[in-house]
Structure 1
Amino acid sequence: MHSPEERLQILLEASERLASSIDYETTLANVPQILIPRLADGCVVDLVGSDETVERASVAFVDPAKAELAEHIKRLGPPDLGASEGLLSLLEAGRGGLLEHFGEGATFAGTRADGPQILQRLAPCSGMVVPMRARNRFIGLLWLYSLESDRTFSHEDLALVEDLGRRVALAVDNARLYAESQAAIRSRDIFLTVASHELRAPLTALQIQVHSMRRLTTRAAGPTGMPGDTGVPSRPMERQSLERIAAKIEVAARQVARLTRLVDDLLDVSQIGAGRLKLRIEPFDLVQLVKDIFSRIEGQLAQAKCRLTLNATDQISGSWDRSRLDQVIVNLLSNAMKYGVGKPIEVELTASPAGARLCVRDHGIGIALEDQSRIFERFERAVSARQYAGLGMGLWIVRKIVAAHGGTIRVDSRPGAGASFTVDLPLVPPAWAGPERRSERPGLG
């Protein structure tokens, strides 16, 4: 018999141990440690598998000499739950019971041929079985036996183990759900990697074809100063047709570029999620990088009708990954154009002895306070995909790249008042010693 204080202590210790890990195998290993030797001399755990069949998950005894027997019992597998009518009705009711009340078949061995020999070797003094349920589903059984200690289980013991069974069931179910979610994430990342690589080849071919058509229409339209131009078309109608074709080619080129960025983002998501983001660190001028980007996206700015202004010192020199910071800046500017069409965009660059600060400010729709931390998570968006295209990957990738440089990013915004994204970067990322280590540096997973 356990006093009320002892029962409460047992439950508290069990809850602490079960909460110590979300790993499925660790949780299963913790179950016997909770039950023996304090409550029983032997423990058998049967669980319902993914195919709805009962599987033997764990067998443990206090006596180390029974280790070989425990392995045999585990290989034996679970019993036929219909072998004992009394046991079956009890389990269907969701209650546990003392095994001596149910007669032959009401054991972890059921009516198996070698069951009596195993029980004879164990020579149990008393036993109980408790069903485990989680989310209104039967997920398994706990079998407890008294062997060397000669204790006889009481209804008070049964009530305590039923309480423990509920806690064990919840922990096992949560661990199983976590394992399934991790497997789903791994499958998704594998799919994203494969899909990205498969899409990249036809997109590259399409880019080449669009570029070739653009060159052909440029040549046919008349002299442009490029070698190979043949002259002006003889009729105005021909020129108009060529201009329409050229306009359509430009639209196609923009869509190909958009698809390429999407494929690159998908590949980044899978690589970063797997901890494979690599940084190629080199010294360069951040102000010049921003100016180069401005020149490159002039067409997009004109299309979005956004006036861009830059407030920066002459030079901010540091050591970063040029390509990845280019990706960060382009992403922030693309968001500013997307959510602030027709509105001005301000970019500010400042330096301090410790680092560089980049601020991109738009005057668009803004972001609600409750969404401002969520938008930096994977596949999260603050607005409906029906209103604004996108998969919610950009800011997550930006945050990971900035963090890999040892920096931070934050947003300051109000609905209807635009958004200001501020990136702070050290002038030299952590763990980078100079040009001799320029090749690759692991990023954050």
Structure 2
Amino acid sequence: MTVSTAIARLNAADPDFARHLDHLLSWESVSDDAVNQRVLDIIKAVRERGDAALVEFTQRFDGVDAKSIDDLILGRARLELALTRITPTQREALEKAADRVRMYHERQKQDSWQYTEADGTVLGQKVTPLDRAGLYVPGGKASYPSSVLMNAIPAKVAGVTEVVMVVPTPRGEINELVLAAACIAGVDRVFTVGGAQAVAALAYGTESVPQVDKIVGPGNIYVATAKRHVFGQVGIDMIAGPSEILVVCDGQTDPDWIAMDLFSQAEHDEDAQAILVSPDAAFLDRVAASIDKLLPTMERAEIIEKSVNGRGALIQVRDMQQAIEVANRIAPEHLELSVADPQAWLPQIRHAGAIFMGRHTSEALGDYCAGPNHVLPTSGTARFSSPLGVYDFQKRSSIIFCSEQGASELGHTASVLARGESLTAHARSAEYRILTQDKGN
């Protein structure tokens, strides 16, 4: 196998830099008409025929010889069995990662609060966990037990009563690490179904699959399209694009380290994006040499090659200040500040899903065991989105209790505003509560 790279080189001093950067970053998760229609048909079938449709689609798409929905349900005992089938080293790694993820997310928990005004009026916010969350997990060889931990643990920390996991098992192939992760993370029910049919089942419920309040977790174009269609019926985490990494380096980190950090995202798929920004042109040359040297040693070299050649870039900037400006423009999913004093630059970072500080903090640590969530906003959505967290599994209700005097005082204000909007019933409803002695005020 011969692999080679021709990674793009950009210079921020180029008059056309902004246009070239926009072209490099452009990516749209667009389902073609055929995919869209197929997904709509699948959702309709699951809504109308429930379990029978799930069994039929699983037979057809995953090649699983399921006679009934019972063949697609894994009980708690099966998850516990998976713990005994993985190696002790794997179990230890899963448990350590789970502990760190749980400890980090415990700090995100939000509590209800109230305050009382002088007249006795009480205002506040009640924080309540979702009743049930659905977790989609890719199956077969493309299985990610780390994603199970990252999605299920925040839900459990939030207090979600029941976490339901769906995971396809193509041709009956079950990933024991995924099931072991589900056991450790506290997943309550597992159904071995996938694709748009699994999303539809979680969104609308079937005779066996319970309807959930929110669906989280990554999937292919059919899963993403189905999540778009069921949004509103249920909540969703996000429509994720390809994985991305942006490394900002001052030129002093080992170029082999940087090349491998770029590879760590490029190996996900051909559409993944790996970008290095540095003011040191000679360093960019050294990283390019490291990329050429290390690429043939990679198991997923062909995928990395297509990713790097198609969407990767080495960008030269004037100085570190401009490097930070470019980083904020890109708003990457993963941002590595591979510099001498990352803390000094942190206040200027405005848009990034996760920020990896210093030369020794590889993005890979965040993917598995550092603690923060690895479900992050992609495709520039870090400008307005956040990592998956406990707050995604909690909802907030406003609390309003008016004392007699408080209702009377607020009634005047509400009356004026309601009549200004020609909503007479609103006004009179508020006016009924105005005390007699206040009516002339």
Interval of TM-score (by shorter of Structure 1 and Structure 2): under 0.3
**Larger-gyration structure (1/2):** 1
**TM-score with structure 2 length normalisation?**
0.23
Highest RCO, 1 vs 2 (Cα 8 Å, sep ≥ 6): 2
